[in-house]
Structure 1
C-alpha cells in the first residue's frame, strides 16, 4: 500500500491530516493517522 489514506468520493480527508507507518518489534508494519481537532471541545479516540 503506497497511499496513507483511502480517498472516498464525497468524503475527503481533513486538511490537517497527517500519518505514517511504524514497524513493531516483531516486524509488523502499522499505519497510523493523526487528525488535529478544528473545534472545541477537543475530543479524540485511541484505537
Structure 2
C-alpha cells in the first residue's frame, strides 16, 4: 500500500515537473518572439 502511494506521488511530481517545464518553455518562446519583434520595430 505504501509502495503504491509512493509511486502515485512520484508520477504526480513527474507530471507537475513536465507541466512547469512546458509553461517555462512557452514563456521563453513568447519572450523571444516579443524581443525579436521589438528589435524589428527598432530597426524601422
Shorter-chain TM range is under 0.3
TM-score, reference length from structure 2: 0.18
Greater fraction helix = 2
Larger RCO: Structure 1 or Structure 2 (Cα < 8 Å, ≥ 6 residues apart)? 1
